[in-house]
Amino acid sequence: MQIRDTEEIYQQLKKARIKILVPLIFLTITSYFCFIWVIAFNSKFFGTLIFDTNISIGIFLGFLLILLIFLITLIYVYLANKILEPLINKIQKNG
**Interacting residue ranges for other proteins, rule: CB under 8 A:** 10, 13-14, 17, 21, 24-25, 28-29, 32-33, 35-37, 39-41, 43-44, 46-47, 49, 53-56, 58-59, 62-63, 65-67, 69-70, 72-74, 76-77, 80-81, 85, 88, 91-92, 95
Q: Give the CA diameter of the chain.
A: 68
Q: Quote the least distance from Cβ 4 to other proteins, whole Å.
A: 15
C-alpha 23/C-alpha 75 separation (Å) is 11
Handedness of CA 62, 65, 70, 73 (dihedral sign): negative
Q: Quote the least distance from Cβ 8 to other proteins, whole Å.
A: 13
Q: Quote the least distance from Cβ 1 to other proteins, whole Å.
A: 18
Helices (H), the chain: 2-41, 43-47, 57-79, 85-94
Q: Quote the least distance from Cβ 3 to other proteins, whole Å.
A: 12
* Helical pair 2-41 and 57-79, crossing angle rounded to 10 deg: 180
Question: Is the CB of 8 or the CB of 81 nearer to other proteins?
Answer: 81
